[in-house]
Amino acid sequence: MRAEQDFFFCYNARLMGFLKRNGFSYICSALHEKSGNRFWLFPRSTELQAQIDCFNG
């Protein structure tokens, strides 16, 4: 069974687009229950984290 730390909850549409352009696929897209903000759920990996770090520059 996977735990929450196995996933990256992306709330930034620009970051989501960057990750998709760099070959990553999200598992699902949904709205946060309390805030109503859209998020995209990615499986966490070292490669994903490297791209997030690159985006945040």
What pLDDT does 37 receive? 97
Model-wide pTM > 0.75 = yes
What pLDDT does 4 receive? 77
Q: Give yes or no for a contact between 40 and 25, defined as CB atoms under 8 angstroms apart.
A: no
Q: What is the pLDDT of residues 6-42, one digit of tens each?
A: 999 999 999 999 999 999 999 999 999 999 999 999 9
Name the residue ranges covered by the structural domains of the chain: 4-56
Q: Is 42 exposed, middle or buried (0-12, 13-18, 19+ CB in 10 A)?
A: buried
Higher pLDDT, 57 or 11: 11
Q: Which helix (H) or strand (E) holds 29?
A: strand 28-31
What pLDDT does 14 receive? 98
